[in-house]
Amino acid sequence: MSEPIKVLLVDDHAMVRRGLGAFLNIYPDLELVGEAESGAEALEQCVHRNPDVVLMDLMMPEMDGATATAELRRRFPHIQVIALTSFREDELVQRVIQAGAIGYLLKNVSGADLAQAIRAAHAGRPTLAPEATQALIQAATRPAAPGHDLTARERDVLALMIKGLNNTEIAGRLMISQATVKGHVSNILAKLGVAGRTEAVALAVEHKIV
C-alpha cells in the first residue's frame, strides 16, 4: 500500500481547521500532518512537516494566502497548494493561481470533492471550483485596463499632468529635460489612445490610473 498523502491545513480560524481535519480523517489515503493559523506559520510547518499538499486559506492577517502561496512555491516547489476560501472575487482567484496554486475551492465543498482535489493536486492535476474557472475565463477575455502598459516614469509624469503642471514644471519637479518630458507625454497619449492632455487627465482620473 502506498504512503498516505500528507496534508497541511492553513486557516486563521480554529473551528475551520477542526472541521477540515475531521473531513480528512475519514480517508485512509490522506494524513493530516499539521495545522497553521497564518501564512508565516505555514512556511515554518512546511520545513518541519514536509506536506505533499497544503490547503491554504486566502484571507489571513499579516501574510495573506496568495503571498504565502507564492513564497511557499518558491521555497518548496514540490509542495502543491489548494486555495480554500469563502470568497469568490475574481482578483483573488487570479492572484493565487498566478502565485502557483494548483486548485481553488470554496469552503462549502463536500468532503468527497475535497479529498478528490487533494489526490488530484498530489498527482499534479488542477481542480477549480466553477466560480474560479469563470473568473479566469473573464480575466482572459477582459480588455486590458487603460494605462496598464505605462512605465513607472510615465505614471509620474501623468500624476503631475493631473495636478495641472506644464512640461517645464514637470521637468523641474522630476529633474529631467523638457525634451524627455515631451517624449513621455507623447507616449502617454499614445498608450491611452487619446488626442491631448485634457483627455489623458480625464481618463486617468476616471480609471484611477495613478
Look at residue 187 in the predicted model and tell me its pLDDT. Answer: 95
Residue ranges, the chain, pLDDT below 50? none
Q: State which CATH number among 1.10.10.10, 3.40.50.620, 1.10.3720.10, 2.40.50.100 fits the domain covering 152-206.
A: 1.10.10.10
Q: State which CATH number among 3.40.50.2300, 3.40.50.10300, 3.40.50.11440, 3.30.70.980 fits the domain covering 5-141.
A: 3.40.50.2300
Instruction: Outline where DSSP puts E strands in 94-180.
Output: 103-106, 127-128
Look at residue 143 in the predicted model and tell me its pLDDT. Answer: 67
Look at residue 198 in the predicted model and tell me its pLDDT. Answer: 94
| pLDDT tens-digit readout, 34-43 | 999 999 999 9
SS3 32: strand
For the beta sheet containing 5-10, the strands, ordered from the edge strand earlier in sequence to the opposite edge, are 30-36, 5-10, 53-56, 80-85, 103-106, 127-128
SS3 191: helix
Q: Are 154 and 113 in contact (CB under 8 A)?
A: no
| pLDDT tens-digit readout, 99-119 | 999 999 988 888 899 999 999
User: What are the sequence ranges of the domains in the chain?
Assistant: 5-141, 152-206
Q: Are 12 and 65 in contact (CB under 8 A)?
A: no
Grid cell for residue 54: 497544503
